Structure 1
Amino acid sequence: MDRWITTSEASARLGVKRGTLYSYVSRGVLTSRRMPGQAESLFDRAEVDSLAAAKHDGRRAGDRLLRFRAVATRVSTISDDRLLLRGTDITDICATMDFTAAARFVLDVDAPVPPPPVDLSAVEQVPVERRIPLTVALIAANDPLRADRTDAAARVLGVLPVLANVVPEIDLAHPWVDLLVTMLIDNGLAASTTAARVAASARAGVFDSLLAGYAALSGPLHGGAPASAYSLVEAVRGGVDVDRALADAVVDGRLPGFGHVIYGGDDPRATIVLDRLRADRPESTALAAAEVIIARAGRPVNVDLASAVVALELGLGPRAGEVLFQYGRTVGMAAHVVEEYGEAPLRWRGSNTGQGRQA
């Protein structure tokens, strides 16, 4: 049903009367259907958006802005502080699947398609948090099927072992790490997934679309956030007074590891990971430091704090959280890219309030 919108919605998006809308149907420009119990006809949303983009191309730039309400996704849903991937609660996914199984489930593929052979010798020369994006860039540059959208999900599934191999410092098979990257597969229309979808809307190849997502992910308020949480937990574990550490950690009113724009309470992903650590290693010094911080902060915890505790306890280094974010979110971004390929192209277009021209 996400594909279909009502007559009223279609009229509003196109800025036309109902009679004009039905004339489009009679001329074969739009497709409509009737459903039992539905008062209005239903219209194909992708067709309406595509026609709206064409109609609005000659209007002022502000009229060409497509709002996020036009984006429907089945990849993940967040409701009442619950995260569902493909309609399944993340708690159930973690209870029944490891990361590989969850990746197949979210990408909706069974068999991977191996990537083309690529010389990755340059990858080991860059910092660990830059290796996955560089690897994907090299694969994209050497991929003879770069612009081919066929089997995009299976091709990304085939790349995951390659990405794991370029970060040998991190044991991605460790149960805590596997759990964490599963948590990070997707979390709604975040900056990274939206960036990847924008590229896919322009019909960039799947690997190039992933690069757009990695760029957004690299920001300190997104994929880089676990590093700040790592510094906070490390400071308290090292003996810094918790009040001093909290004061030093706040940037622009944000406390790393706490709060989330989507969740009103604790991030369910953080709850799952921290509960696992409490059960597996109750004597963890990193966990103990985090507990002190949580008690003093008095704010809802997010997954960045859980990521920091895992990285500290396993000795993975301060930027490991960003790497794990990249690795897990590769699956979610790819699922969004494939979904976007089924939508009207070029459906994101910003407004220009100045006097200059838009390309």
Structure 2
Amino acid sequence: MNRHRLLLPALAAVMLVACQRPPAGSDMPAKPANTATAAAPAASAAAPAPTTMKPATAFTPPPESAIPEGPFGDMVREGRELFVHTAQKAPAYVGNGLACANCHLDAGRQPNSAPLWGAYGMYPAYRSKNKHVNSFGERLQGCFQFSMNGKAPPLDSREMLALEAYAYWMATGAPIGVKLDGAGYPKQGFKPPQPPDYARGETVFQRDCALCHGSDGLGQKVAGRYVFPPLWGPDSFNWGAGMHELDNAAAFIKANMPLSRGNTLSDQDAWDVAMYMDAHERPQDPRFKGDLAQTRKDFHDTPMSLYGTTVNGHLLGSRPARRQGSR
């Protein structure tokens, strides 16, 4: 317990790696002797950068001490609080145990963990995920639907205004339409030496991840709140979230995990543990209409997604994790 209390200052800055052997009664079956190995990611899996995009540019966001006084600064601070304590500040729109800051570390400031300052100036933009040009607000709505397993706040809601104000302020001085160094997750050209492997990933998890995320991968709580987030199960991101795709998870893990020791895992370890994490059940993709194969065809037709594929004898997505009492 004392050790966990010492780790509390890192509460808002945690997220992905993978898991250990599934507990009895979990949705994942025991691993048979022949463990699964994912197909090697195809070079075409990552969409090419637009030809009009300018080269990456260095940028440093303003310090939090520079948030101004007055009504605008108050809204920025409100947005920061919502970003770090999402379930507590926006309970009507959150359906799991995560916060925005679990995937966007240091309250959305840390490079190579999809920082807000790297995203704000790149919208409006076309997204293949929903096949239309998205505003920044729509992009945030998607995070609530998929990563938070909840529902989208209205674009004119106070929650959305606060988050947009926080992102806008953090991007103060950043060029518009320019990919900044450290924006997103560093997955360009990031390929595993060997195809990702579930069994190797379990070993990495036991060695480097279970201390924080729990031996069952379901996170750890203090006083009823997660201090380390769940990586799968009913309180994690759902099958529609970007982190369920191997390249996103591996790039995030490589750059940021274990917490405060990013870039210490080998490339292979990062891909293997991403495979292990993403081969566990989580809440259903909200776009699911009753046909698993059709949902994969419509939304997951990529080697980076394990949804609708069989790993260790289990068809992923067929028994999605649900919170107790939910339908």
Which range, TM-score by smaller chain? under 0.3
Task: Report which of the two has the higher share of helix.
Answer: 1
When Rg is computed on C-alpha atoms for both structures, the one with the higher figure is 1
TM-score, scaled to structure 1: 0.23
Larger RCO of the pair (alpha carbons < 8 Å, separation 6+)? 2
